[in-house]
Amino acid sequence: SAMESVDGAVRTLPSSGRLSRGLLFGRTHGRIGLSSRSRLLQPAPLSQKNADHQRTAFLLRKQWTLYSVTPLYRFSNAHLKDYTRLLSAFVAAEKQKGLAVEVGVELDIKVAFSSLPDLRGSDQDQAAILVQLSSRSKASKKNSEEKLIWSGWFCSVSGEDFSENVPEGFTCLPLFLTNGAESYTAIVGSWFQKTFDCYFRRLAISPLNLSWMAAMWTGCKVDKTVPALELVFSVPHLPQPLDISYAIHPEDAKALWDTVQKTPGEVTQEEVDVFMDCLYSHFHRHFKIHLSAAKLVKVSTAIASAHCDGIIKFLQSQYLTGVLMLLTELAISQIQ
Amino acid sequence: HIATSLPLPSERDHLRPRIDMIVFIIDIQSKYSLTTIEASLAYVDARFFLGKVCFLVTGVGRMNCCSIDMNAIWKLREDYCSPVLFGELESEEIRVATAQRLLRMLQICAGHVPGVSALSFSTLMRISAYD
């Protein structure tokens, strides 16, 4: 298939402590242990000024599967109409080969490319590109409605550090999000790979990064009534798989976070550790279970929910770019 | 001898042979393993940190399951002046290779290798780890 699975290979590492994977060091650019590991909650306020929440409302409350994408070669915003035509032809051809989802149902698949200029962190980011597949039953062509069957969008929020260092001719949109059947994702993905010489990989989210999300998103102010902060853990090394779900009252979680966080708008690794340790101690006091020995697999907050397999749901439009900024950073780490 | 935490039970002190080296094993997929080790370090006599302690980190092959920030590991190395080794203990080959490496270190710590003392492990601590 066009997409690679989440598991990386097991590696032997030399005993001097040198590690060959950039992901371990986050944004330290290959230098070990020299960053203080802090992150901003939102991109610079300037970019939020003209954000039209209506236009991006359709992205909310849908489950998106995450991928990292290497830079696209010779991609241009000016050619979206051509891409529409080419991808339509490709999808039709794949259908002929019998690789489409539904067998025996005659479907006309319409492709649409569009640009989402609001989804970026700064002017240096490329505008997000949205690809949508709609179907219309061939039988009743005249009045039948088009049904949206698949969506995928490429974006980059505050990815300047990465895009600045990329050679001429490449467009950086490292984050790819899809909603819809996996088979269409594979078809669209292979077309992009063939056309722009890029490479997709499922974006996995480590328990460490999920804890960051739990802490960062708990700190976000939301006007309406807020659902509980929920953490789901998977317990390893058991004959039967066991999941533990830990729900924390949102006001308690926010109160805890408020005592931990020092600089508004900025979060550090130390603060995340203290926040999580408090939650773990509380759980241990009641249930005598060390959640820190289990694997954090899912985090749900009022802002968004994220799963370690690389699945996200956006719940608040005002924090959409903030979440995308974090996801862009993870996608870039996975590429490098 | 294997222990899940320190201090070791004092009842068996008189039966225990001399301890030449301590290897602290950290599973990068378990934050709990790190906190247990941090707590256990307090029970180690300072003389061990002259080359007779090392940290073995396992689970790094699957970075997607990482629950510990690597900076915390580097901080242990700095604070305790002890080397950090990496090994995927789930793979038999690596397990054997790691065991051989540790055995060699143990021979030196126990004084069985003439001309080489545990103090020379401090050379593993030098900036060669930095790119």
Mean pLDDT throughout A279-301?
Answer: 96
Boundary residue ending a domain (A162, A183, A202) = A202
Shortest Cα distance, chain B CAs vs residue A134, angstroms: 34
Position A91 pLDDT exceeds 70: yes
Inside any domain, residue A327: no
Position A46 pLDDT exceeds 70: no
A110-126: per-residue pLDDT in tens?
999 999 988 888 888 88
Position B65 pLDDT exceeds 70: yes
A193 and A153: one domain?
A: yes
Mean of the per-residue pLDDT values of chain A: 83
Which residue pairs from A137-140 have beta carbons closer than 8 angstroms and sit at least 24 positions apart in sequence? A137/A105, A137/A106, A137/A107, A137/A108, A138/A106, A138/A107, A138/A108, A139/A106
B75-114: per-residue pLDDT in tens?
999 999 899 999 888 889 999 999 999 999 999 999 998 8
Domains and CATH numbers, chain B: 20-128 (3.40.50.300)
B71, B94, B129 ranked by CB distance to A16: nearest: B129
Length of chain B equals 131
Judge whether B25 is closer than 8 Å to chain A, CB to CB.
no
In this predicted structure, which of A168-177, A232-241, A281-290 has the lowest mean pLDDT?
A: A232-241
Our count of domains for chain A comes to 2
B67, B75, B77 ranked by CB distance to A295: nearest: B67
Mean pLDDT throughout A314-328?
Answer: 92
| Interchain contact, B86 vs A37, CB within 8 Å | no
A129 and A179: one domain?
A: yes
A149 and A114: one domain?
A: yes
Boundary residue ending a domain (A202, A223, A255) = A202
Residues spanned by the domain of A103:
64-202
| Interchain contact, B71 vs A23, CB within 8 Å | no
DSSP assigned state of A4: B
A127 and A225: one domain?
A: no
Q: Chain B contacts of A6, Cβ < 8 Å?
A: 64
Position A25 pLDDT exceeds 80: no
| Interchain contact, A269 vs B69, CB within 8 Å | yes
Which residue is it, tokens 């807020």? A226
| Interchain contact, A8 vs B77, CB within 8 Å | no
pTM beyond 0.90, yes or no? no
**Share above pLDDT 70 across residues of chain A, in percent, rounded to a whole number:** 81
Judge whether B71 is closer than 8 Å to chain A, CB to CB.
yes
Greatest mean pLDDT among B42-46, B117-121, B125-129: B42-46
A16, A19, A207 ranked by CB distance to B67: nearest: A207
A52-74: per-residue pLDDT in tens?
677 788 899 999 999 999 999 99
pLDDT at A21: 32
Inside any domain, residue A72: yes
Strand A175-180 to A147-155 pairing: antiparallel
Q: Cis omega (within 30 of 0) on the bond before B7? A: yes
A210 and A284: one domain?
A: yes
| Interchain contact, B60 vs A11, CB within 8 Å | yes
A264 and A197: one domain?
A: no
Inside any domain, residue A330: no
Nearest CA in chain A to B78: A33
Q: How many helices (H) and strands (E) does chain B have?
A: 3, 3
pLDDT at A196: 96
Inside any domain, residue A197: yes
Judge whether B131 is closer than 8 Å to chain A, CB to CB.
yes
